[in-house]
Amino acid sequence: NNILFLNLKKENMKTITISFLEKAQHYFLILFIILPTLSSAQETIQTEFITLSDGLSSAGIRAIMQDSYGLMWVGTLAGLHQYDGYKFIRYKNIPGKSTSLLNDNVWGLAEDKNKNIWVSTEDGIAKYNRTKNEFKNYDLTELLNAPPNGGGRVFNILIDSKNRMWAATRNYGVLLYNEQNDRWDQVAIWENDSKNAVIVNALVMQLAEDKDGKIWAGFSRYGLSYYDNKDSTFVAASIKNLEGVVDFSKGENLITSLYTDLTNTIWITGRNGIYKYDQITTSIRPIIEYETLKFLNGNYMNRIIPDQTGNIWIANNYRGIVKFDGISDDFTEIIIDGHERLKDGTMDLFCFSATLDNTGIIWFATAQGIMKYDAGRESFINYKYEDGNNNSISSNQVFGLLESKINKGKIIVGTRGGG
């Protein structure tokens, strides 16, 4: 009989591996690019994967949010779901019923001061009234004569510190909700080299509010812009390039996500990379610049969120997930265990969005369902017998564990048949 000693000293980790507890088969395959690895060291973090077998109507998740009651709301390609941690309630469009969900293709979610849930869809906006259990729809194909099948797409809604509601749209720039008249109005922007503000049909994917209450947007034709409360218009921000030339006004580097941190620095994701914008100096600096798939049409789904410890997580649909420490430009690549890397460097998972709940759990919206990551949950390392490996455990049938009194940190393992 042999005695095996395990040294459990933990090394510094730079690359993190997420291990999925997958409960169902994968339902479709979409690829994303993983950023260059910073270190070969890996740590396994246990996660939960919620899919069709748990009650979702579609494994393709685009939006996820926790409301003020602690319920999770999930926007899919096939309707809206409410999740209480045990079961799903599905809301969908019912043809001919005006109080049903406007469109089943959901892009974004928000909750207002009255606990209503606002749903961004392919054809416009839907407001869910909890008391009446029905929807009030704002169909952009009717209100703005938007073309059907995506012409009225709203990516997401921002509710700011003044309880104003802003919508980022595919074709109509930014919309601002007029509560008194119960309607959504287009917001003007100053034309370049013009003395007039005009209504423009431009693409805006996301909005953000900084700590001073200023609203920021990324326009397809005007780049990074902010809302001027005095003139009630958006104005293109002044940008001083420190490293190379960063131009967000062109489609090839469209702004896809915005986030303002505690220092009022604006984090920006674009098709070409990740950037930081300093409002005081008006300077912009690339943190990561992509080398591949920069001009791919689908390379635009990004989300930037902070966690409870100050880290900043960025999910990119083609490039995976990275985590910044929130202070420096150092980042950690998140590698997903159980998903093989292909010859071209891509991997078989697609991440649309993410949100942080009130317990610190990060929920990721993916093309294969919902992924939950609990940073406070202890990770497990599975030591098992490997044929031909003298450094592995001698048997998988373990009947006893004891820490050595002589060599602290070493565990004596008693097995059946292997010692």
pLDDT, one tens digit per residue, over 300-332 is 678 999 999 999 999 887 777 889 988 889 888
Contact status, residue 77 vs residue 28, Cβ threshold 8 Å: no
Contact status, residue 120 vs residue 107, Cβ threshold 8 Å: yes
**CB-based contacts of 137, cutoff 8 Å, min separation 6:** 98, 101, 102, 124, 125, 126, 127
Q: Report angle CA 251, 33, 57 to the nearest 5 degrees.
A: 90
For residue 218, being part of any structural domain is answered with: yes
Structural domain total, the chain: 1
For residue 91, being part of any structural domain is answered with: yes
The stretch 353-358 carries a mean pLDDT of 91
For residue 89, being part of any structural domain is answered with: yes
- Residues paired with 278 in a beta bridge: 283
Q: Does residue 234 or residue 246 have the better pLDDT?
A: 234
Query: How far is it, in rounded angstroms, from Cα 7 to Cα 330?
Result: 29
Sign of the alpha-carbon torsion through 64, 66, 70, 71: negative
Can you give the C-alpha Rg of the chain in angstroms?
A: 24
Contact status, residue 336 vs residue 20, Cβ threshold 8 Å: yes
Query: How far is it, in rounded angstroms, from Cα 332 to Cα 330?
Result: 7
Contact status, residue 279 vs residue 293, Cβ threshold 8 Å: no
Quote the pLDDT of residue 252.
77
Tokens found for residue 135: 């929807």
Contact status, residue 346 vs residue 33, Cβ threshold 8 Å: yes
Quote the pLDDT of residue 193.
61
For residue 344, being part of any structural domain is answered with: no
Quote the pLDDT of residue 39.
34
Q: In whole angstroms, what separates CA 179 from the centre of its chain?
A: 29
**Residue 410 pLDDT grade (very low, low, confident, very high; cuts 50, 70, 90):** low
Q: Does residue 144 or residue 382 have the better pLDDT?
A: 144
Whether 116 shows a pLDDT value over 80: the answer reads yes
Quote the pLDDT of residue 295.
59
Q: Determine what percent of the chain is predicted with pLDDT higher than 90.
A: 49
Domain that holds residue 294: 47-330+349-381
**CB-based contacts of 330, cutoff 8 Å, min separation 6:** 324
The stretch 235-255 carries a mean pLDDT of 82
Q: Does residue 405 or residue 281 have the better pLDDT?
A: 281
Reading phi first (left if > 0) and then psi (alpha if -120 to 50, else beta), residue 133 is in: left
Contact status, residue 167 vs residue 175, Cβ threshold 8 Å: yes
- Tens of pLDDT, residue by residue over 255-277, are 999 999 999 999 999 888 899 99
Quote the pLDDT of residue 245.
74
The stretch 93-103 carries a mean pLDDT of 97
Residue corresponding to tokens 């034309």: 191
Query: How far is it, in rounded angstroms, from Cα 378 to Cα 374?
Result: 9
Query: How far is it, in rounded angstroms, from Cα 330 to Cα 327?
Result: 8
Mean pLDDT of the chain, nearest integer: 80
Contact status, residue 356 vs residue 308, Cβ threshold 8 Å: yes
For residue 6, being part of any structural domain is answered with: no
Q: Where residue 251 sits, what CATH number does that domain have?
A: 2.130.10.10
Q: Which of 330, 337, 323 is nearest to 380 (CA)?
A: 337
For residue 16, being part of any structural domain is answered with: no
**CB-based contacts of 183, cutoff 8 Å, min separation 6:** 138, 143, 177
For residue 343, being part of any structural domain is answered with: no
Whether 357 shows a pLDDT value over 50: the answer reads yes
Quote the pLDDT of residue 88.
95
The stretch 29-48 carries a mean pLDDT of 39
For residue 405, being part of any structural domain is answered with: no
> Can you tell me whether residue 3 is helix, strand or coil?
coil
Quote the pLDDT of residue 43.
40
Lowest mean pLDDT of 245-249, 296-300, 389-393, name the range. 296-300
Q: Determine what percent of the chain is predicted with pLDDT higher than 70.
A: 73
